[in-house]
Amino acid sequence: MSVRRRPRRVAMLSVHTSPLHQPGTGDAGGMNVYVVELARRLAAAGVEVEIFTRATSAALPPVVDLAPGVLVRHVEAGPYNGSAKEDLPAYLCAFTHGLTRTWTDRHPGYYDLLHSHYWLSGQVGRTAAERWGVPLVHTMHTMAKVKNASLAMGDRPEPAARVTGETQIVAAADRLIANTGTEAAELVRHYDADAERVTVVHPGVNLDCFRPDDAGVEAGRAAARVRLGLPADALIPLFAGRIQPLKAPDVLLLAVARLLQERPRLRERLVVPVVGGPSGSGLTEPEGLQKLAARLGISDVVLFHPPVGQSRLADWYRAASVLVMPSYSESFGLVALEAQACGTPVIAADAGGLPVAVRNEVSGLLVPGHDPADYARALGSFADDPALSTRMGEAAARHARSFGWDTAAAATVDVYAAAIRTHEHEGCGSR
């Protein structure tokens, strides 16, 4: 049997969160952006993509055209509403059944491979790939053992069932895609992955949407502030993303409170937007961040705003003096890359993939640990030198331009081809 070096059609699994959902709400975040952008660029390169995700409403059509060459298929598995991500393992058998029903309408070889995203999808993927006789490519996005090693205070550890599931996926996958070299090493160290089956593919950024203003970084910042109704001369440290302990927005608020204690006059020109919605364990106290701002006495400078679409989010990035991302764990940090692409520097935790996304002291500042005093000092640098936002922002935009989705998609196609070769050589995926 001849080996097809390049796939024609890929089944992509995103079980727990739909690519149609608004990032920043519920469980929708960087992975949603990743799946959508990768699928679009794969299709543009001639690889058709069908994304299977769980139906969360009876009103959803079975199939949605997301883009030319990209379909989203809704699979009924479990109740439509009210299911937390933690409940979904109980519905994986139903999802697998719904997925395999689709397969019965297809001729053998219709899908060249399965690409699963996150461990829930991987559990479905390893069963479906075996039944279909196609290779499995998996992207973890986050890993239980890594998250549990760096939990935020009050956050819940990932369950043992997830650790077991991830271990099974690593053993079953023909190829694993890691966002960074650090993640690749973690797969080998924590899950005994075969290093030869792990490939690093940096995620990209939509450089058509996330880019500096045509007039330049400084002029674009001023224009974006006018559009958003923000003060022209303010120091604006922005938090954008899901509000949950893992993302550590509380560290930003604690840092702001400390900064104002040290520099009370700064209050007159400080605005701290928090753009996003509660998610994960943050749902247990959805107003927790607002209450913290009140306890710290900084409610007057903190501006809470619900999640927004990409074009509006790009304006928030452009308007900010700096994006602050104190996450305890990030497989990469797409938000940091999006902000930099818009010409905005980043203060980020020196954790996970953020040291790849952010060039320390060039496109932003990396902070070891999560001590609010350290973040306050970093913010103080931007307060002392207002021109720092522009200087670092221009460098940030140059840095981000090297992370295009076309490059990521081309590298992913190479991984697919390698998975097909491995699968054909070993015979129906047997390991």
381 plus 359 within the same structural domain: yes
- 375 assigned to some structural domain: yes
Tell me: is residue 118 an annotated ligand-binding position.
yes
- 179 assigned to some structural domain: yes
Measured CA to CA, the distance from residue 417 to residue 113 in angstroms comes to: 10
pLDDT of residue 5: 67
What does the block give as tokens for 182?
């650090």
pLDDT of residue 362: 98
- 199 assigned to some structural domain: yes
193 plus 230 within the same structural domain: no
pLDDT of residue 279: 63
Tell me: is residue 23 an annotated ligand-binding position.
yes
Give the other-Cβ count within 10 Å of 13's Cβ. 28
Tell me: is residue 112 an annotated ligand-binding position.
no
- 1 assigned to some structural domain: no
Tell me: is residue 80 an annotated ligand-binding position.
no
Tell me: is residue 291 an annotated ligand-binding position.
no
* pTM value > 0.95: no
179 plus 133 within the same structural domain: yes
Mark the ranges of the chain whose per-residue pLDDT is less than 50. Answer: 1-4, 282, 428-431
- 209 assigned to some structural domain: no
Q: Which of 414, 40, 376, 419 is nearest to 206 (CA)?
A: 40
26 plus 114 within the same structural domain: yes
234 plus 164 within the same structural domain: no
Contact 253, 292 (CB under 8 A): yes
- 47 assigned to some structural domain: yes
- CATH number of the domain where residue 61 is located: 3.40.50.2000
30 plus 145 within the same structural domain: yes
Tell me: is residue 344 an annotated ligand-binding position.
yes
Tell me: is residue 247 an annotated ligand-binding position.
yes
How many domains does the chain contain in total?
2
154 plus 228 within the same structural domain: no
241 plus 327 within the same structural domain: yes
199 plus 268 within the same structural domain: no
Give residue 178's domain range: 9-204+404-426
Tell me: is residue 398 an annotated ligand-binding position.
no
Measured CA to CA, the distance from residue 132 to residue 45 in angstroms comes to: 25
363 plus 412 within the same structural domain: no
Tell me: is residue 340 an annotated ligand-binding position.
no
Give the other-Cβ count within 10 Å of 244's Cβ. 24
Q: Read off the amino acid at residue 115.
A: H
Tell me: is residue 142 an annotated ligand-binding position.
yes
Measured CA to CA, the distance from residue 147 to residue 327 in angstroms comes to: 11
Q: Which of 28, 64, 423, 80 is nearest to 241 (CA)?
A: 28
Burial of 125 (0-12, 13-18, 19+ CB in 10 A): buried
What does the block give as tokens for 100?
């395999």
Measured CA to CA, the distance from residue 75 to residue 425 in angstroms comes to: 32
What angle do the packed helices 372-384 and 388-400 form, to 10 degrees? 110
pLDDT of residue 198: 98
Tell me: is residue 32 an annotated ligand-binding position.
yes
Q: What is the DSSP-derived secondary structure letter of residue 337?
A: H
pLDDT of residue 16: 84
Strand, helix or coil for residue 295: helix
87 plus 170 within the same structural domain: yes
Q: What is the pLDDT of residues 383-422, one digit of tens each?
A: 999 899 999 999 999 999 999 899 999 999 999 999 999 8
Tell me: is residue 22 an annotated ligand-binding position.
yes
> For residue 273, what is the enclosing H or E element?
strand 272-275
- 394 assigned to some structural domain: yes
Tell me: is residue 416 an annotated ligand-binding position.
no
Tell me: is residue 309 an annotated ligand-binding position.
no
- 212 assigned to some structural domain: no
pLDDT of residue 429: 42
Tell me: is residue 285 an annotated ligand-binding position.
no
83 plus 132 within the same structural domain: yes
Q: What is the pLDDT of residues 143-173, one digit of tens each?
A: 999 989 888 777 889 999 999 999 999 999 9
Contact 93, 54 (CB under 8 A): no
Tell me: is residue 189 an annotated ligand-binding position.
no
